[in-house]
Chains A and B, each alone.
Chain A
Amino acid sequence: MPRSLVPHSPEPHRSPTPGLFLGLVITLAAVVAYSAYITRQISGLRELQNNLVDRNRKDSLQLLRIQNDLNSLALAMRDMLDNDEPYPLTAWSAQFQRVRTDLDDALHREQQVAPVNRTPEQEEYLDNSVVQFWDAADRTFALAQGNNQAEARTQIQVSLRARQEALSTAVSRLLVQNNESEEQAAQRIAQIYNRVQRQVYLFLTATLLAILFTSLYLIRSNRRLFAQLAALSAQRSELAQKLISTQESTLRHISRELHDEFGQILTAVGAMLTRAGKQAPEGSALRADLREVCEIAQTTLDKVRSLSQALHPVMLEETGLESTLDWYLPVLERQAGIHVFYEKSGQSFPVNGNAAIHVYRVVQEALNNLTRHSGASEAWVRLRFLPQALEVEVQDHGKGFDPQSAGQGIGLVAMRERAELLGGTVEFVKPTPANGQDQDAARSGTLVRLKVPRRNLESNAA
């Protein structure tokens, strides 16, 4: 009984490719734009770090070193003025020289890393102050060298100390300035970080939205595609089943016609020829011809009956599936020259004729395939009446085949369709080796298993 047609398949839809391509382009563009933005921000940060923060830090370190040297000079001057050492003031010249070497080095390095916002006036003031300090120091030591200790001390008090203090103040001012610009830089860096953080969130949100929309679009497209595929598959299956039903009814009709019409005609012709033969004189040529024609008619009748059975075993309706198989398998053994091991098990139950023809055809097709392609000389047919189902197996140990491979014959498709018509399943499996079985033999061969629920076989639904 053909199932009702699936609803009209949806209209073929636009391919999702252009949409996805557009999404990809937008996403890539966003990534490129964002990368460019981040690169720009990072280079800005690096510039800020190199030009301002690092430079400032290095400069501050050198300024601290200068400050430390100036402090050492201040302490030395204090000791010189205290006049509690038994040494002349020239004794301090090595100490001054040591500090001077370090101070010169520190000033040189400081100039190399001086912040970019240092004004030339500031540089000049610092340089001049240092020159003036050492000039005053040299004069002081010259006075001390000339045994003018008192005047040298006065010079330290009125000039050298003042110059040292002025220098120290200038350096302190530069340190404060460095500190301020460092604070400004820190603020700018914080702003950049805030901006970048905001952009990261924006970018992440946009990316997530893009992924979300693309995913939704893909899901929708997939669902449509699957619906179309399902509809097409249903149409194809229905078509195949219709074809099978039509074929079966046609064959049944032809088979009946052959059996009923031509059988009766040929039986009548045979009877009439036999009667006519009896009327012809014994030993006459006519009698011999009539007998010959009668035999031909009998042979024709046998062939017609045989053809009728082959097209559609009438036995199916009359004596059932079991008897038909009992009749068919020895016939096949004779025709194909193979040995069939037929096993029946379970409590048999009647199978409706409409269903029985499909079971019979599946067995027939499986055995046909076996004789044609497997190269095997033996076959096993198992009919199992299970409590809730009927199971039929056809197995061989021949070459075997891959039911999943492309180019399946119409026979396999037909077997599947018939199984579906019956509401059952058909499987094509590679048999697993039994204990003691030859591994090579077990690895090859095919097992076709049809399983149909009992209720579908007993009712007329199929």
Chain B
Amino acid sequence: MNRRSFLWGMAGLISASGLPFDAFAAPTAPSIDPGFRLSDATAQAGINFRHNSGAYGGKLLPETLGAGCAFLDYDRDGWQDILLVNGSDWPGHKRDYPSTLKLYRNNRNGTFSDVTHSAGLDLEMYGMGAAVGDYDNDGFPDILITCVGQNRLFKNTRKGTFIDVTKSSGLASRQAMSTSALWFDYDRDGLLDLFVCNYVKWSAEHDVFCSLDGKHKSYCTPEAYRGETCWLFHNRGNGTFEDVTATSGIFDSSSKSLGVAMLDYDHDGWPDLLVTNDTQPNKLYRNQRNGTFKDVAVDAGIAFSAEGRARAGMGVDVADFDNSGNPGVAITNFDNEMTGLYRLSDGGDYVDVALPSGIGQASKDKLGFGCIFLDADLDGALDLAVVNGHIDDTVRNVSGVGYAQPPQLFLNRGKGTFVDVASALGGGFSQPKVGRGLAYGDFDRDGDLDLLVTTNNGPAYLYRNDQTAGNQSLRIRLIGTKSNRDAIGATVRVFHGASNAASQSRVVKAGSSYLSQSELPVTFGLGKQDKIGRLVIEWPSGRTEDYKNLSAGRAYECVEAKGITGLPGF
């Protein structure tokens, strides 16, 4: 028997046995009832935003990266407002109308008002990402916009306006092509510090010529540019920041970073950082509790793919998706690289479980950007939402992969498996988009998580989540006193079910996803249960609080060391 007849024999056997050839393909099951629907609330909400990448044909690298978005409660009225970051025209290619970022205030009735101008944010800049955090602990969230060039820090005046404090805060001394950023309190002094990712050393003047066909200019991949270190700014507590990049051990001139997430990888109560790098190894900066970090990504098994290759790390999120109490990780990558889904093994190493989970195969032909863990169907298991889209609109001519690609929503089916139900959700969510930013927030205060999506050089989308299965949720807003006021870094655990055997955990966090930030309150899906047995809060200050018998179907506000208060509804 030669090889050909053997193969034909096998093919015959497979077809005779009725085994489908795509038996190992990812499960896509529109027949599954996801338990919720999405509807496109963008127009109804009054959100009229279009991202401007400034593309004029020059094919400049930043044009491919899009811009992010954020849910924030800038006026502290308990309703999530929306921030959409925008790019701008390139010098010498200005058009008639200016493009600015947009701040939309929540009108508490499902609609939003564009308050960009009145808030003092109608400024032109080549914005990329947003990081929202109350760095001065005044109770009102401040905004950092990462930019190509100079990043901008806007301080909340508590009167519905923002003032640009970039210069006075000491952030004006650093310029680069910044991407994602996050606020976190790495030294646990109660003040939020700032971590900023930088992509590559790039300037419009020295843009490199790259071409797919040898004739026409196309967008370059990051290999064409030198890396750029990320930055860590220490909050001095007086409104200024100190660049501790070099002294903290964060400095790495080879990094080409796009995403960052906070996590407590070693369960020591000190926040660590996971930074995704494009074509370079990812970095897992372990907090050494003395103001310095050590990169342990290689040892932890998250620097490279399972094949030992540095992938094109884009977005990242960290959450306890398997309810094990350990921080699991999702990292979006280039097409043909698959999204990485990592679980922390007992030995303290990350293991990529994307393939057995079903996410690997389903993401193989996707170029992922924003990604967030959220309990979309409120069943108590975190699901994963991912937005996709290629970087080059000529890509379909070359590789057949679409420029616009459908977003995905992987429903957690338990036992480590996920299934993409995006096409069953409605609202046009699964329509192909050139997705970039992605954030969640409960803008209509109905207890479930709505989605905000930005696209490159295209519109932003607000998707309202409507539960159909009648699942209950519980939302917690934390206010730190000794800890930073946003309680970023706090871990909230709930115990429920018979003998409180089931547990879930959430971490209050900024950053994650791609260029974006989700709301700070944490949401627990409880299925059909109407109460939880126990709620444990571990504050960043080290304080632990324990509460019992809380009802589902409402939100609670907990102030550090001052107890918990139930709110009427969410």
* Residues of chain A at the chain B interface (Cβ within 8 Å): 72, 75-76, 79, 85-88, 90-92, 94-95, 98, 102
Contact = CB atoms under 8 A, between A and B. Distances in A.
A92 B249 contact: no
Given A85-B229, A98-B295, A102-B298, A75 B245 contact: no
A86 B174 contact: yes
A261 B254 CA distance: 141
Interface string B214-249: 000000000000100100000000000001011001
A79 B174 contact: no
Contacts of A94: 249-252, 294-295
Contact of A95 (B173, B226, B243, B254): B254
29 contacts: A72-B254, A75-B253, A75-B254, A76-B253, A79-B226, A79-B253, A85-B229, A86-B173, A86-B174, A86-B243, A87-B229, A87-B245, A87-B246, A87-B251, A88-B246, A90-B246, A91-B229, A91-B251, A92-B251, A94-B249, A94-B250, A94-B252, A94-B294, A94-B295, A95-B251, A95-B252, A95-B254, A98-B252, A102-B298
Interface string B290-310: 000011001000000000000
Most buried by B among A79, A88, A90, A94: A94
A98 B226 CA distance: 19
Contacts of A95: 251-254
Nearest to A79: B253
Given A79-B226, A98-B295, A85 B253 contact: yes
A91 B251 CA distance: 6
Interface residues on B, range: 10 to 19
Given A76-B253, A86-B173, A95-B254, 12 more contacts: A72-B254, A75-B226, A79-B253, A86-B174, A87-B229, A87-B245, A91-B229, A92-B251, A92-B253, A94-B249, A95-B252, A98-B295
| Dominant secondary structure at the B interface | loop
Contacts of B174: 86
Contacts of A75: 226, 253-254
Interface string B243-283: 10110011111100000000000000000000000000000
Contacts of A102: 298
A425 to B, nearest CB: 52
Most buried by B among A72, A75, A92, A95: A95
Which 10 interchain pairs have the tightest Cβ spacing? Answer: A91-B246, A94-B249, A91-B251, A79-B253, A87-B246, A95-B252, A98-B295, A75-B254, A76-B253, A87-B251
Nearest to B251: A91
B251 to A, nearest CB: 4
Most buried by A among B246, B251, B253: B253
Contacts, number: 38
Contacts of B250: 94
B201 to A, nearest CB: 8
A91 B254 contact: no
B295 A91 contact: no
Contacts of B229: 85, 87, 91
Given A85-B229, A87-B246, A98-B295, A76 B251 contact: no
A90 B298 CA distance: 23
Contacts of B245: 87, 91
Interface string B411-452: 000000000000000000000000000000000000000000
B245 to A, nearest CB: 7
A94 B254 CA distance: 12
Contacts of A92: 251, 253
Nearest to A99: B254
Most buried by B among A75, A85, A90, A91: A91
Contacts of B254: 72, 75-76, 95
Contacts of B246: 87-88, 90-91
Contacts of B253: 75-76, 79, 85, 92, 95
A79 B295 CA distance: 20
B141 to A, nearest CB: 29
A438 to B, nearest CB: 54
A90 B252 CA distance: 12
Nearest to A95: B252
B334 to A, nearest CB: 20
Most buried by B among A75, A85, A88, A102: A85
A75 B223 CA distance: 13
Nearest to B255: A95
Contacts of A90: 246
A250 to B, nearest CB: 74
Nearest to B297: A98
B150 to A, nearest CB: 14
B316 to A, nearest CB: 20
B349 to A, nearest CB: 16
A86 B170 CA distance: 14
A85 B176 CA distance: 11
B256 to A, nearest CB: 12
B483 to A, nearest CB: 28
B542 to A, nearest CB: 27
A265 B174 CA distance: 161
B348 to A, nearest CB: 17
Nearest to A65: B308
Contacts of A72: 254
A87 B246 CA distance: 7
Contacts of B295: 94, 98
A98 B296 CA distance: 9
Nearest to A88: B246
Contacts of A76: 253-254
Interface string B87-129: 0000000000000000000000000000000000000000000
A24 B243 CA distance: 89
Nearest to A80: B253
B205 to A, nearest CB: 14
Contacts of A88: 246
A91 to B, nearest CB: 3
Nearest to A87: B246
A88 B245 CA distance: 11
B85 to A, nearest CB: 25
Contacts of A86: 173-174, 243
B282 to A, nearest CB: 13
A76 to B, nearest CB: 6
A94 B291 CA distance: 14
Most buried by B among A87, A88, A90, A102: A87
Nearest to A91: B246
A87 B231 CA distance: 11
Contacts of B243: 86
A272 B229 CA distance: 159
Contacts of A87: 229, 245-246, 251
Contacts of A98: 252, 295
A75 B255 CA distance: 12
